[in-house]
Structure 1
Amino acid sequence: MPVRAGVRLHDLLTISLNKAGTIDHVVNDTGSAVTPDVQGPSTVVAFPAG
């Protein structure tokens, strides 16, 4: 996701449905990882923060 003036995301969610693979972050370097052991959800309320 490019970080640019006026571009914002809100209420993001990542979850693992099949216990396979890993998602490192919800968006860019923000949000917790979702793994086969920690299926989530991993949420980000606002990106960029603030």
Structure 2
Amino acid sequence: MLRWTITFIIIAIIAGILGFGGIAGAAAGIAKILFFIFIVLFIVSLIMGRRKS
């Protein structure tokens, strides 16, 4: 999931440089959402991993 976040950030940067503001904004928004989902899943997996020990 972090790989997808980085991909969308790169797309947003390239689109922003080339002047495609709408695409850059959409890609940045998707990247932000994916990043927060990644963080939540990472924290949940850390908590669940500690419970089993």
TM over 0.5: no
Higher strand share: 1
Higher helix share: 2
TM range (shorter): under 0.3
Between structure 1 and structure 2, the one with the greater Rg is 2
